[in-house]
Structure 1
Amino acid sequence: MKILRLAASLIFIPPLLASAQIPVSDLDLTRFYLRMGGSFVYPDDDGTPLKYYELQDWQLYRTNWDIEEDTTWNVSGVWRPLPYLGLELLYVGDADHSLHLENFRAYPGRDNIYFGRFSTSSANLFVNWYMTDLDCLGQPYLGIGLNYSDFYDDELNPEFQRYLMDSGMAAGLGKLGMGHSWGASAQLGIDWRLGRGFASSWLINAAVIYTDTSTDAVVTYPVSPGYERLYSDLDTNPWTLNLGITYEF
């Protein structure tokens, strides 16, 4: 996976930190950053086709996902006790994604159907390694960490609801259910100080984040008698571009 290759490229960090002789005077337990900004979330469209738990529908088996990107907001706090080490807690909230099924050919002259939509938010805990001294204007960093993503406000589009009923699969309206995800994450970013003196407390931030995120997408709909389900392993694995402003305490 991409995240494993990216994490493997960072394994040189612990030896560097272990071999470095850091003076006790460099330890500062009161150095914190507060950061706010915008996020562009670009999901990766990977996952299994939508299909029955037991039987199989040919029109759905051939499909693949298309997840639209979204722009949202982020907020984070960084504790930087050492010049070259920091702990960051990052929250990216309320990204809304439309969901299409591509290669869907049940309707003549079309190759897709609007499936539905969902929202997601994520919390990330990073260990960051800073490459330059504290007094440098530009402070690039690498981070690896853990991600928790929550999927909510999930709903089926009326067009896909009609397909389920018109095809005879469903006897009524269905509903979409999605859960949450735990996975690894990695980031590459930079803080840039706006100047010296008073302005030195303000920094512009940019970061690119990759997250290993997957969940189960389950459609439950009524049949006669009882209920039936469609399911898919939905791997969103988003790339996120963060742009924001940082204040150093």
Structure 2
Amino acid sequence: MKSLRLAACITLLFPLLAHAQIPVSDVDLKRFYARVGASFIYPDDNNTSLKYHIFQDWNLYRTEWDIDDDVGWNISGVWRPLPYFGVELMYTDGADFSLSLDHLKGRPGHERIDFGRFSASSANLFVNWYMMDLDCLGQPYLGIGVNYSDFYDDDLYPEFQNFLINSGIATGPSDFGMRHSWGASAQLGIDWRLGRGVARSWLINAAVIYTDANTDTIVTYTTDPGYQRLYSDFEVNPWTLNLGITYEF
């Protein structure tokens, strides 16, 4: 499904590149946009079960992650040397996600458990195709690019810590760790000019972004003696709605 979404964007974008004829007079190396706004992030919850390195425990068999939505902020800069094409570097941060584990076996009537939390930041580099002339008030665009996501401030909630101890899996405290991710990304957005004249430099922005972001999660728990680990492939793959304001230099 991820590859189909990105392939659709590429199919729309690159035939236009092949037929583009760019007069030298259209090149403007000093056309820049600066943008700031809010990001509404909706993880896709597409993940594998939490499991042991060697064998699966029945209580954790076929568990599923549930990641709460959250709101962060974004800032980006766009270099638009051509009327219909530009390069955008976007940074998103400030989102703090609560994480639950569903379909947990061995707890009749209580198959959902509060697992932990994590924060995430991401950087996207897009190549954008702008569909309208520069003089139009509305500037819709389609972009494809590459994403780097960093997952940090990961922590386990006491409820899952106590579950590991009460189930005889752990004998003491446990730690939760996540890693970074590289993947593809795509966006569909619009800049809308606030008017002509002096107001021409200010635009309202809205964009929908899909990010291919996946990492590994590891729970390290105390045993007697030593320690053991639970692990999972973790695919966040968020949809993000950005709303902001843009200034054109």
Letter in 2 for 1:63: T
SS at match of 1:218: strand
Instruction: Give the C-alpha shift of residue 55 in structure 1.
Output: 2.5
Q: CA RMSD in A?
A: 1.1
Partner of residue 82, structure 2: 82
**Alpha-carbon distance in 2 for matches of 1:2, 1:54:** 29
Instruction: Give the C-alpha shift of residue 105 in structure 1.
Output: 3.6
Structure 2 matches for 1:97-108, cutoff 5 A? 97-108=97-108
**Alpha-carbon distance in 2 for matches of 1:216, 1:14:** 33
Partner of residue 26, structure 1: 26
**Alpha-carbon distance in 2 for matches of 1:24, 1:55:** 64
Letter in 2 for 1:203: L
**Alpha-carbon distance in 2 for matches of 1:181, 1:58:** 30
Report if aligned partners of 1:151, 1:180 keep a CA contact under 8 Å in 2.
yes
Partner of residue 139, structure 2: 139
1:38 aligns with 2:38: yes
Letter in 2 for 1:31: R
SS at match of 1:205: strand
Unaligned stretches of 5+ in structure 2? none
Structure 2 matches for 1:162-173, cutoff 5 A? 162-173=162-173
Partner of residue 154, structure 2: 154
Instruction: Give the C-alpha shift of residue 80 in structure 1.
Output: 0.1
Structure 2 matches for 1:1-249, cutoff 5 A? 1-249=1-249
Report if aligned partners of 1:7, 1:186 keep a CA contact under 8 Å in 2.
no
C-alpha spacing 1:107/1:155, structure 2 compared with 1 (3 Å): same
Unaligned stretches of 5+ in structure 1? none
Q: TM-score, normalised by structure 1?
A: 0.97
**Alpha-carbon distance in 1 for matches of 2:115, 2:26:** 54
**Alpha-carbon distance in 2 for matches of 1:7, 1:134:** 27
Report if aligned partners of 1:209, 1:241 keep a CA contact under 8 Å in 2.
yes
**Alpha-carbon distance in 1 for matches of 2:168, 2:20:** 68
Instruction: Give the C-alpha shift of residue 19 in structure 1.
Output: 1.9
The superposition leaves residues 73-99 of structure 1 with CA deviations (integer Å, 9 ceiling, x where unpaired) of 000000000000000000010211100
Report if aligned partners of 2:46, 2:236 keep a CA contact under 8 Å in 1.
yes
**Alpha-carbon distance in 1 for matches of 2:52, 2:40:** 33
Report if aligned partners of 2:216, 2:234 keep a CA contact under 8 Å in 1.
yes
Instruction: Give the C-alpha shift of residue 32 in structure 1.
Output: 0.2
**Alpha-carbon distance in 2 for matches of 1:24, 1:42:** 42
**Alpha-carbon distance in 1 for matches of 2:52, 2:27:** 57
**Alpha-carbon distance in 1 for matches of 2:13, 2:68:** 35
Q: TM-score, normalised by structure 2?
A: 0.97
**Alpha-carbon distance in 1 for matches of 2:202, 2:137:** 11
**Alpha-carbon distance in 1 for matches of 2:56, 2:17:** 54
**Alpha-carbon distance in 2 for matches of 1:211, 1:105:** 32
C-alpha spacing 1:12/1:208, structure 2 compared with 1 (3 Å): closer
**Alpha-carbon distance in 2 for matches of 1:50, 1:127:** 37
**Corresponding residue pairs, total:** 249
Report if aligned partners of 2:71, 2:94 keep a CA contact under 8 Å in 1.
no
SS at match of 1:10: helix
